[in-house]
Amino acid sequence: MKRYTIKPRLNWQQKVEEIGFNYHTADTLYWDESAFYEFSAREIDTIDKATNDLWEICLKAVQYVIDYRLYSKFHIPEWFIPQIEESWNNDAPSIYGRLDFTFDNEIPKLLEFNADTPTSLFESSVVQWYWLQDFDHKSDQFNSIHEKLVAYWKYLKEYLYDYPLHFSAVKDCPEDITTTEYMRDCAIQAGLDTKFLYIDEIGWENDHSIFVDNEFFPIRNIFKLYPYEWLINEDFGKNILLDKNRAFWVEPAWKMILSNKAILPMLWQLNNGHENLLESYFEEDKYFLGSNYAKKPLLSREGSNIQLIEYGSVISETKGEYGEEGFIYQKLCPLPEFDNNYPLVGSWIVGQESAGIGIRESDNLITDNLSRFVPHLFS
Amino acid sequence: MKKSKIIQLVLVASIISSCDNRDSVPEKKVYMRSDTTATYSHAHGMGLYGGYYAFRPYGIYSYNRFTRAGYYSSAIHEGANIGTNGFKGTVVRGGFGSSVFHVSS
């Protein structure tokens, strides 16, 4: 893995905006093509294999959590368990996820799994691909996300109800709307009938106990870019269990288990010594890690409320609103460093297989909401 | 397969650009209602997906049968859509979305 500094394309803002990418700059730069990362084919194969291997053990871990009813470790409320189990037992459709890696002697190590509402999908799938066509179209990029999304929606079609597939995201957030609309784009290309509505437009029809859209049409299949922990934290979420139509929610409720950082100690317990896992524990066993570890809330987003401890001292930490739900402890394995830039490799699973990577780079050891998306290629 | 051969988008670019230009199109003042039991309201916005006011049939699916109960438009105020129509009035919205403004993870 190497980092190169380069000159951005002339009028790069216009170029990315032409393909629908309008959140390239916030308070600071988000899309950063003044650099790129180069991987060897062997490194890409290693990431590819790690992603597929981890996906397999993740599925086994979900089964284990369900079999032994370990929901309290995940801070999942009792009343929502039937929805999780129903979605798992019915093999409810799931489309994607992103495994975040650091590296230890070139071996990918799982930092966390964004299994419910992973973003940076559009950047990984489309924006960096168009960048490569301009920069060096003869090079390769580990990126078949787009084809795999279209193909998997096509595959899922027969598992969905014969009703439109609704797509929903929060209002006034270009990043979330673009991610959701990109996903809808792929579903349309797969031949699905789709509709978009904002998350607060979802209606509950009391007389028949069903969800309806803003045209009073029943919602029976819905892709939502809105985390389960928020859905069930709002009173409206109780309706998910009362829904007489038993709508398919994509991602399915069982993904709550994988998107929760409690999965990390669970994976370690079930696969002790796995080369792509970092030793991880719950509070009661954290002493196994000694004085070098990362402390992470079960549900934090965008790197909030994380502490990195080295030799007993805090070397980096972030603030935020999370932590009440509990913490896990993970062996410290810092991100690689390139001239004070710290890249995090997000490896995408689409359907059941590894599909490509996107890199977010920070100025410090914790990847937060100020990180930059940097394109890549491999040779 | 590790590399995309070609990427074509049918939706994203046009959607996002229409979001950006939403305020730049001067609106005509049009007052409408979708239910005879409702009062008229100022129709606003052209909707995300087209330049017309769409009144769509609504109703309820029960036992695989659709019963039409009237019309609805997302371009007009809820009051002008619902009126005293009992069916529409049983729908509650706004229950999701209060947790936070941004989802990224």
**Whether pLDDT at B14 is above 60:** no
**Whether pLDDT at A97 is above 60:** yes
pLDDT of residue A125: 96
Residues of B with Cβ-Cβ distance to A169 under 8 angstroms: 103
Put simply, the answer to whether B2 touches A143 (Cβ < 8 Å) is yes
Q: How far is B55 from chain A (nearest CA, A)?
A: 9
Shortest CA distance from A171: residue in chain B: B101
Residue of A49, A139, A181, A228 to mutate, interface with B, max B Cβ within 10 Å: A181
Q: Taking residues A232-244, what's their average pLDDT?
A: 94
**Whether pLDDT at A353 is above 70:** yes
**Whether pLDDT at B15 is above 90:** no
Residues of B with Cβ-Cβ distance to A181 under 8 angstroms: 11-12, 15-16
pLDDT 10s digits, A13-59: 999 999 999 999 988 999 999 999 999 999 999 999 999 999 999 99
**What residues contact A204, with CB distance under 8 A and at least 6 apart?**
A210, A211, A212, A236, A239, B91, B92, B93, B95
Q: How far is A144 from chain B (nearest CA, A)?
A: 5
Put simply, the answer to whether B97 touches A199 (Cβ < 8 Å) is yes
Determine which of A73-87, A115-129, A137-151, B84-98 has the lowest per-residue pLDDT on average.
Answer: B84-98
pLDDT of residue B7: 81
Put simply, the answer to whether B11 touches A176 (Cβ < 8 Å) is no
**Whether pLDDT at A11 is above 90:** yes
pLDDT of residue A92: 92
Put simply, the answer to whether A239 touches B95 (Cβ < 8 Å) is yes
**What residues contact A181, with CB distance under 8 A and at least 6 apart?**
A20, A167, A196, B11, B12, B15, B16
Pairing of strands A35-39, A2-5: antiparallel
pLDDT of residue B94: 85
Q: How far is A205 from chain B (nearest CA, A)?
A: 4
Q: Which residue, chain included where needed, has tokens 């859509």? A: B81
pLDDT 10s digits, A202-229: 999 999 999 999 889 999 999 999 999 9
**Whether pLDDT at B35 is above 80:** no
Residues of A with Cβ-Cβ distance to B9 under 8 angstroms: 19-20, 126, 182, 185
Shortest CA distance from A368: residue in chain B: B105
Pairing of strands A165-169, A221-224: parallel
Comparison of pLDDT for B103 and A64, the residue scoring more: A64
Residues of B with Cβ-Cβ distance to A202 under 8 angstroms: 93, 95-96
d(CA A141, CA A353): 17
pLDDT of residue B39: 59
Q: How confident is the model at residue A231 (pLDDT cuts 50, 70, 90)?
A: very high
**Rounded to an integer, what is the distance from CA A268 to the centroid of its chain?**
20
Extract the tokens encoding A314.
């805090």
Percent of chain B whose predicted confidence (pLDDT) is above 90: 0
* DSSP secondary structure code for residue B93 in this structure: E
* DSSP secondary structure code for residue B2 in this structure: -
pLDDT 10s digits, A264-318: 999 999 999 999 999 999 999 999 999 999 999 998 888 889 999 999 999 999 9
Put simply, the answer to whether B104 touches A218 (Cβ < 8 Å) is no
Choose the most confident range, by mean pLDDT, from A364-368, A373-377, B96-100.
A373-377
Determine which of A136-140, B13-17, B89-93 has the lowest per-residue pLDDT on average.
Answer: B13-17
Residues of A with Cβ-Cβ distance to B1 under 8 angstroms: 144, 147
Shortest CA distance from B98: residue in chain A: A234
State the first-to-last Cα distance of chain B, in angstroms, to the nearest integer.
27
Which amino acid belongs to residue A277?
A: L
Question: In whole numbers, what is the pLDDT of chain A averaged over residues?
Answer: 95
Spell A49-58 as b/e; 16+ CB within 10 A means b: ebbebbbeeb
**Whether pLDDT at A76 is above 70:** yes
d(CA A358, CA A344): 8
* DSSP secondary structure code for residue B77 in this structure: -
**Whether pLDDT at B45 is above 60:** no
Size of interface A-B (CB pairs under 8 A): 175
**What residues contact A134, with CB distance under 8 A and at least 6 apart?**
A9, A15
- From residue A123, alpha-carbon distances to A178, A223, A266, A364, B12 in Å are 10, 19, 31, 21, 12
**Whether pLDDT at B101 is above 60:** no
pLDDT of residue B74: 57
Q: How far is B8 from chain A (nearest CA, A)?
A: 9
Extract the tokens encoding B76.
């007009």
pLDDT of residue A379: 87
Q: Which residue, chain included where needed, has tokens 């609805």? A: B72
Neighbours of A159 (CB within 10 A): 12
Neighbours of A41 (CB within 10 A): 12
Q: What is the 3-state secondary structure (H, E, C) of chain A?
A: CEEEECCCCCCHHHHHHHCCCCCCECCCECECCCEEEEECHHHHHHHHHHHHHHHHHHHHHHHHHHHCCCHHHHCCCHHHHHHHHHHHHCCCCCCEEEEEEEEECCEEEEEEEECCCCCCHHHHHHHHHHHHHHHHCCCECCECHHHHHHHHHHHHHHHCCCCCEEEEECCCCHHHHHHHHHHHHHHHHCCCCEEEEEHHHCEEECCCCEEECCCCCECCEEEECCCHHHHCCCHHHHHHHHCCCCCEEECCCCHHHHCCCCHHHHHHHHCCCCCCCCCEEEHHHHHHHCCCEEEEECCCCCCCCCEEEECCEEEEECCCCCCCCCEEEEECCCCCCECCEEEEEEEEEECCEEEEEEEEEECCCCCCCCCEEECEEEC
Q: What is the pTM of this model?
A: 0.86
**Whether pLDDT at A63 is above 80:** yes
Residue of B2, B21, B68, B85 to mutate, interface with A, max A Cβ within 10 Å: B2
Put simply, the answer to whether B102 touches A208 (Cβ < 8 Å) is no
Q: How far is A183 from chain B (nearest CA, A)?
A: 9
Put simply, the answer to whether B12 touches A176 (Cβ < 8 Å) is no
Put simply, the answer to whether A202 touches B12 (Cβ < 8 Å) is no
**Whether pLDDT at B27 is above 60:** no
pLDDT of residue A324: 84
Q: Taking residues B16-27, what's their average pLDDT?
A: 46
d(CA A2, CA A246): 49
Q: Is the ipTM of this complex over 0.90?
A: no
d(CA A312, CA A250): 41
**Whether pLDDT at B64 is above 80:** no
Q: How far is A154 from chain B (nearest CA, A)?
A: 16
